[in-house]
Chain A
Amino acid sequence: NAGVTQTPKFQVLKTGQSMTLQCAQDMNHEYMSWYRQDPGMGLRLIHYSVGAGITDQGEVPNGYNVSRSTTEDFPLRLLSAAPSQTSVYFCASSYLQFNSPLHFGNGTRLTVT
């Protein structure tokens, strides 16, 4: 059982480049989300989705796009990378049950130069 799979593990971009972080889960979770983790700031929610075709903004959505065409996949797109987007990104999923904990991917370390 793979759980939540994120790719790539590491990525270096130049300012202005675009890229997509991939996230897939095989647990049939309705809810999926993306966080960024920066030192001293905890995990901040970028975007989330409660089901296929439904997405919404979190705390820090600027500069990122998402889509949810299937239950399994929730890619995060950086349209024009900026140094401020240097961070560790986590994808996480859960059931919509209130007490369902988030299952996390292993993270993507992104550096924008």
Chain B
Amino acid sequence: AQKITQTQPGMFVQEKEAVTLDCTYDTSDPSYGLFWYKQPSSGEMIFLIYQGSYDQQNATEGRYSLNFQKARKSANLVISASQLGDSAMYFCAMREGGGGATNKLIFGTGTLLAVQP
């Protein structure tokens, strides 16, 4: 069964510094996708970035990048030049894509990031 693990319940980072949020996953399906979402204190879920298992390069979206290490089954989110508005809960999620896949997206337990001025 697919599983997502986020081992950091909470993290602090100084404004303007970079921060890495960890995510490891477990799947036997060679075809899968990894997603990161941001949930600010207002509660909405915001999609940040996607990485496919067959993508040759690490995904990037503005200040967000994915450190994808397939052999280690990790997909860590890197936020560069942190801003106060980055303070939020961050969720890693995975979707399997092999035969019989159901399109389900399974989430980790999240990491609460606090950016300090």
A residues at B contact (CB < 8 Å): 31, 33, 35, 40-45, 48, 50, 56, 58-59, 88, 90, 92, 94, 96, 98-99, 101-104, 106-107
- Do A98 and B95 touch (CB < 8 A)? yes
How far, in Å, is B68 (CB) from chain A's closest CB? 14
Contacts of B108 in A (CB 8 A): 42
Please judge, given known A-B contacts A90-B45, A106-B43, whether A43 and B91 are in contact too, CB under 8 Å: yes
A50's contact among B44, B95, B103, by CB below 8 Å, is which? B103
Can you name the residue of chain A whose Cβ is closest to the Cβ of B36? A101
How far, in Å, is B55 (CB) from chain A's closest CB? 9
How far, in Å, is A98 (CB) from chain B's closest CB? 5
Name the interface residues of B30-86: CB closer than 8 Å to any CB of A.
31, 33, 35, 43-45, 47, 50, 52
Can you name the residue of chain B whose Cβ is closest to the Cβ of A90? B45
Contacts of B104 in A (CB 8 A): 33, 45, 48, 58
- Do A42 and B102 touch (CB < 8 A)? no
